[in-house]
């Protein structure tokens, strides 16, 4: 009975090893390398599409800002200064009045 059990274990382990070796051999075959390159190219294409979509979204937001400024008679310079002022207020709220926290090593401090 023990011999039959160990025979079954040996067959199972052998099958798993052969299966893994077959996968590895396929990965390094010309067909496997072509498949890997195709998958990489597809991933790169999706990344480029996501980037283009983000840029287009940013363009739409900026065009809306420009149209709103034009409708209210505000110059683009004044609009950009207002955006910079909002960023400065955000920095003061996040990092304190005098720059970055003293706890952050390597960060510039002072006014």
> Which pLDDT does position 8 carry in this prediction?
92
Residue 99 has phi, psi (to 5 degrees) of 115, -145
Q: Does the residue 111 lie in any domain?
A: yes
Using 50, 70 and 90 to split pLDDT, how confident is the model at 92? low
Q: Does the residue 15 lie in any domain?
A: no
C-alpha span between 86 and 20 (Å, rounded): 58
Q: Does the residue 10 lie in any domain?
A: no
- Which residues form the domain of 98? 75-111
Q: Give the residues across from 109 on adjacent strands.
A: 99
C-alpha span between 10 and 38 (Å, rounded): 37
pLDDT, tens digit, for every residue of 45-74? 999 999 999 999 999 998 888 888 888 787
Please indicate, yes or no, whether residues 35 and 59 belong to a single structural domain of this protein: yes
Please indicate, yes or no, whether residues 30 and 65 belong to a single structural domain of this protein: yes
Q: How far is CA 53 from CA 17, 48, 98, in A?
A: 45, 9, 38
């Amino acid at each position: 009975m023990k011999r039959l059990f160990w025979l079954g274990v040996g067959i199972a382990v052998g099958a798993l090893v052969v299966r893994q070796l077959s996968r590895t051999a396929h990965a390094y075959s010309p067909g496997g390398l072509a498949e890997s390159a195709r998958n990489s190219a597809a991933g790169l294409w999706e990344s480029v599409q996501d980037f283009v979509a983000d840029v287009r979204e940013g363009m739409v937001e900026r065009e809306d800002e420009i149209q709103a400024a034009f409708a209210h008679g505000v110059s683009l310079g004044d609009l950009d200064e207002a955006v910079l002022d909002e960023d400065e207020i955000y920095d003061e709220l996040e990092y304190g009045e005098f720059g970055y926290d003293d706890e952050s090593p390597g960060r510039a401090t002072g006014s």
